Amino acid sequence: MIKFAMFGAGRIARVHGQTLTEHPDVSLEFVIDPVAEAAESVAKEFGAQVTDAESVFANKDIDAVLICSSTDTHADLLEKSARAGKAIFCEKPVDLDTSRAKDVAQIIKECGVPCFIGFNRRFDPTFQSLWDQKKEGRIGNLEQLVITSRDPSPPPASYVKVSGGLFRDMMIHDLDMARWMLGEEPVEIFATGSCLVDPEIGEAGDVDSAHVIMKTASGKLCHINNSRRAAYGYDQRIEAFGEKGMLQAGNHRASEVRFVGDEGDTIEKPLFFFLERYMPAYRRELQEFVDTLLKGQEPTATIEDGVRALELADACVESMKTGKAVRLD
């Protein structure tokens, strides 16, 4: 039995807490959150107790931690958890500062604890199927990759101010997907962005619309496009184009029933909320983390993946500011 403590008591903590309670080899023992009422609510829901961080780090019976708290707490909790010898599952990003993230990655390496970063889209069944078919050679050599990610509505400007910006907050998932799908590291990146959706986001110093082009050493090309608004729902698509054909992963809908008649040719809009769209992915990623602990395997999405995605996000910011492509190490 693997005993967990969970930092955070928000909506994603409830998703992960439910997954843990459904796993026969796992026990959620403690919940930690600065908002006492939220911590009590989540702990009661999943049969856990409320405690504080230091008690978790000192408790030798706790094998692993889930870090689902606010971004500004991730780095410190990662470091303290590693030094306490706990296995770690942490939501993205590692930190908003890449230098700090690298320091934490080094500490985790030195401590030798498993560390899984929550890039949940790798575990989406549709995207996983596309990746599997690409790997099996169905389209031959991959030449071009197109990733579309558009939110149904923008976040409040108050969130934008502390989020690290679109590239570190939103596109970081797509940057990780690009690395995973391409199978090699980008060596050049060009980014451009605008504020087309909400002027308050621009006043907060960010963009709400962005395009990125990346190139690998072998010449593979990747285009990522993001928007903080899609009037028709949560737009999540991937297209992989190769020498033998193309693979497409489309949006998920509440129903796949299609109507054709005098009124036109219609199908339901994409699912609206990210938790609806990616619920299977959230469950699968945490189940895999538990399985890696039970089997002693390396996590699929590591702390190094978290650092590399941040480096790409930094390069996007630099490119957008300078209007020039950025060469990557």
H or E, element range at 115: strand 115-118
At residue 129 the predicted structure's pLDDT band, cuts being 50, 70 and 90, is very high
What whole-number distance in Å separates Cα of residue 222 and Cα of residue 78?
31
- pLDDT for 180 equals 97
Secondary structure class of 225 (helix, strand, coil): strand
For residues 133 and 315, the answer to whether their CB atoms sit within 8 Å is no
- pLDDT for 262 equals 92
Residue pLDDT, tens place only, 297-321: 888 899 999 999 999 999 999 999 9
Average pLDDT in the 21-38 region?
95
Average pLDDT in the 112-122 region?
96
Residue pLDDT, tens place only, 141-154: 999 999 999 999 99
- 110's tokens: 């030195």
Number of other CB atoms surrounding residue 49 within 10 Å: 14
Q: Select from 151, 154, 171, 153 the least CA-distant residue to 212.
A: 171
- pLDDT for 172 equals 97
Q: Is 329's pLDDT higher than 90? A: no
- Write the CB contacts of 120 (distance below 8 Å, at least 6 apart in sequence): 173, 278, 281, 282, 285
- pLDDT for 4 equals 98
Q: Select from 178, 185, 269 the least CA-distant residue to 225.
A: 178
Q: Is 164's pLDDT higher than 90? A: yes
The three-state DSSP-derived secondary structure of 25-91 is CEEEEEEECCCHHHHHHHHHHHCCEECCHHHHHHCCCCCEEEECCCHHHHHHHHHHHHHCCCEEEEE
Average pLDDT in the 209-225 region?
98
- 268's tokens: 């339901």
- pLDDT for 256 equals 86
For residues 173 and 121, the answer to whether their CB atoms sit within 8 Å is yes
- 115's tokens: 């560390």
- Write the CB contacts of 20 (distance below 8 Å, at least 6 apart in sequence): 4, 6, 26, 27, 28, 46, 66, 286, 290
